[in-house]
Amino acid sequence: MSEPTCAWCHKTCAPGITLCPKCVTTLDHALANIAAYWRDLDTIRTKQARYSTSNTTKGSVGKTQPLPVDGRFTDPTGYGSEVVYGAKNTLVAWAKTLIEDWPPANGPACPSCLHVSCHELKRRAFPRDTMPGLCAYIAGWRHAIAATPWATDMLDELLDVERRLRKLIDRPADGWYAGECGSETDMDDGSTVTCTRALYAEPGSPFVRCRDCGCTYDTEARRATLLAEAEDREATVRILARVAYTLKGIDASESRLERRIAGWVKRGKIKANGTRVVGGKPLPVYRVGDVIDLLTDPDDEAKAG
C-alpha cells in the first residue's frame, strides 16, 4: 500500500491530509505577504512612493526622487485595477467558504487568556472587511484547511494573488517601458500560460530580457511595435515629447522636443483631438501618429537642424 502524499508537493504526509506542514507554511507566508503588499499598494496608489535613482542633479543630491513614469497605474481600468479587484474578490470568496464550513460562534470570550473555548470563539468571529483582516482570518484556519479537498485550489489562487501584488509594488526598473513580455509556455496539462511581466529596457542596450521567464527581445523591434500600437492614441504635448524621445530615439532632449511640437501646434501643422484633464486643467491632446510623421519628415528635419 502506497504512503499518503501531499497533493501540492507530492511528498509523504500524514493520512487524511491534503497539504503537508511545509505547504501549510507556504500558505501562511502567502497570506502574510498579501497583507503586507496590500499596505504597500495603498502608498503606491496614492502616489506617495519615492524611489532612489541614479539620475541625480545638483538640487537632488541626497534626496530620493519620485519615479517619472509608472506605467502600471496610468490606466484606471488597466492591469493594476484588475489585479486589485481580483485580489479582493479571491480573499472574500475563500473567507465565505470558511464561514460556510465553520460558521461563526457567539459567546463571551476573555480579552487575554489560554482558554481553548475563548480561542475558538475568537477564531470563529466574522473577519474584518479589510485585506489584512481577511488574511488573518484565513490564516487562523490554516491547519483545518490542510485537511480539506480544496486546500490545493486555495493555495494555488493565493500564490497567484501574492505574485500579482508583488509585481505591482516592485520598483519599475530604470529604463524605458518596452511593453509586456507576452511569451507563451505550454503546460503539461495542455494549457498555455502567457507571461505578463512588464519589460524595461536599459538605454542603449540592443536587447531586453524578461525578469520572470527569461525571454529576450530585440529593443528596436519592441520600439516599432509600441509605436505602431500608439499611432492612433492621443496625448498631451509633454507626453508626446516623452514618447518621441523614448520610442523614436530622436536625437534631442525632451524639453527641446516639447518646444518643437508646441511650435507645430501654433503653426497649425497638427490639430487637437479633444482635451484631457491633467492636474485639474483641461489640456488639448494630439494624435501620436501625426507627431511621429512630422518628426520623420526629412523637410522638417532640415528646418529643425
| Domain map (residue ranges) of the chain | 21-53+66-169, 174-230, 233-305
Determine the Cα–Cα distance for residues 199 and 180; give it in Å rounded to an integer: 6
- Of the pLDDT bands very low, low, confident and very high (cuts 50, 70, 90), residue 44 is low
110 phi and psi angles, rounded to 5 deg = -70, 140
DSSP 283: E
- Residue 41 and residue 84 in contact, taking contact as beta carbons nearer than 8 Å: yes
Determine the Cα–Cα distance for residues 34 and 36; give it in Å rounded to an integer: 5
Determine the Cα–Cα distance for residues 239 and 254; give it in Å rounded to an integer: 9
- Of the pLDDT bands very low, low, confident and very high (cuts 50, 70, 90), residue 255 is confident
Q: What is the largest CA-CA distance in the chain?
A: 85
> How many residues in total does the chain contain?
305
Determine the Cα–Cα distance for residues 68 and 288; give it in Å rounded to an integer: 20
> Is the predicted pLDDT of residue 305 greater than 60, yes or no?
no
Determine the Cα–Cα distance for residues 7 and 20; give it in Å rounded to an integer: 8
The reported pLDDT for the residue numbered 48 is: 44
> Is the predicted pLDDT of residue 158 greater than 70, yes or no?
yes
The reported pLDDT for the residue numbered 2 is: 76
- Looking at per-residue pLDDT, the higher value among 116 and 138 belongs to 138
83 phi and psi angles, rounded to 5 deg = -65, -45
Handedness of CA 98, 100, 101, 107 (dihedral sign): positive
62-107 pLDDT, tens digit per residue, is 344 444 344 455 455 556 778 888 999 999 999 999 988 877 767 6
> Is the predicted pLDDT of residue 160 greater than 90, yes or no?
yes
- Of the pLDDT bands very low, low, confident and very high (cuts 50, 70, 90), residue 171 is low
Query: Which one-letter amino acid corresponds to residue 261?
Result: I
Q: What is the mean pLDDT of the chain?
A: 80
Q: Of 295, 287, 282, whose CA–CA distance to 233 is shortest? A: 287
The reported pLDDT for the residue numbered 129 is: 82
- Residue 158 and residue 19 in contact, taking contact as beta carbons nearer than 8 Å: no
* Distance between first and last Cα of the chain: 83
The reported pLDDT for the residue numbered 279 is: 65
The reported pLDDT for the residue numbered 277 is: 79
Helix, strand, or coil here: 237? helix
Q: What is the CATH number of domain 233-305?
A: 1.10.10
Is 79 buried (19+), middle (13-18) or exposed (0-12) by CB count in 10 A? middle
Determine the Cα–Cα distance for residues 202 and 178; give it in Å rounded to an integer: 10
Q: Of 233, 232, 252, whose CA–CA distance to 242 is shortest? A: 252
DSSP 244: I
The reported pLDDT for the residue numbered 205 is: 84
For residue 283, what is its C-alpha cell? Answer: 489640456
pTM: 0.52
- Of the pLDDT bands very low, low, confident and very high (cuts 50, 70, 90), residue 142 is very high
